[in-house]
Amino acid sequence: MGTIIMTTDANGSSSDRCSCPAGFTRCAGRCLIRLDAALTNTEAQSRCQQRGAHLAVPRTEAENQCVIEVASRRLVWLGVTDLGSEGSSSDRCSCPAGFTRCAGRCLVRLDAALTNTEAQSRCQQRGAHLAVPRTEAENQCVIEVASRRLVWLGVTDLGSEDVFWGVDGCGTVPWWGFTFPDNFWGVEHCVAHMLSNWNDVDCRRLYHPLCQLDYCKETMCQ
């Protein structure tokens, strides 16, 4: 079979809202691509994860139509199985091993202390991205999974000073601590989660990656 990738990650540019990476087609709020290699389901999912994506899981009529169009009459894998329970189709809303499901997201805190760039790369190796909480519930999830550690979030103003965007290409609803952001010394362009609030910090600092998978959300910017 060929493979379909559906990803909620944009191209990582904090100034470009909800754009898709090169080669992907944006459709119904998703980024899709069909790869031509004929692979097993396990191989297909692995290939998707190498690109920071996952096998497609259409949940609406519009998304299913997108899959039909991008598949272009090829047989393609979807990210849905009943391996967890026979007869029960389980999609990627069941988080991978090691991740915690919370508020429709899959989260994991990695123990390595890394720069922001290194942390994002480590998350991408797991098919994820640095966490971008947008609701009070999601921010509470970050607090719980961070477990009082200083962690990187996937939010920067590298694209435009004082305009903070998520690495998924979407806007944010920040929970800044008192007096933040302050861009101290003019070098604080990345965001760390410190106990319960956000703080703009130097991207070269060493914090723990907090990785996020978006399998259970209906749209990219939700």
Using the predicted structure, report yes or no on whether residue 108 has a pLDDT greater than 90. yes
pLDDT digits (tens, 9 = 90+) for 17-66: 457 888 889 888 888 999 988 999 888 888 888 877 888 888 788 888 89
Using the predicted structure, report yes or no on whether residue 9 has a pLDDT greater than 50. no
Using the predicted structure, report yes or no on whether residue 111 has a pLDDT greater than 80. yes
With cut-offs at 50, 70 and 90, classify the pLDDT of residue 121.
very high
If you average pLDDT over residues 200-220, what whole number do you get? 82
Separation between Cα atoms, residue 130 and residue 72, nearest integer Å:
32
Q: Which pTM was predicted?
A: 0.60
With cut-offs at 50, 70 and 90, classify the pLDDT of residue 4.
low
Other CB atoms within 10 A of residue 65 CB? 13
If you average pLDDT over residues 67-89, what whole number do you get? 77
**What is the pLDDT, as a whole number, of residue 210?**
97
**What is the pLDDT, as a whole number, of residue 206?**
98
Looking at 95-99, 124-128, 184-188, 193-197, which range is the least confident one? 184-188
Separation between Cα atoms, residue 153 and residue 80, nearest integer Å:
29
Separation between Cα atoms, residue 201 and residue 193, nearest integer Å:
10
Other CB atoms within 10 A of residue 180 CB? 18
Structural domains present in the chain = 2-91 (no CATH), 100-213 (3.10.100.10)
**What is the pLDDT, as a whole number, of residue 6?**
61
Separation between Cα atoms, residue 23 and residue 118, nearest integer Å:
24
**What is the pLDDT, as a whole number, of residue 149?**
92
What percentage of the chain reaches a pLDDT higher than 70?
80
pLDDT digits (tens, 9 = 90+) for 180-196: 677 777 789 999 998 88
If you average pLDDT over residues 69-97, what whole number do you get? 73
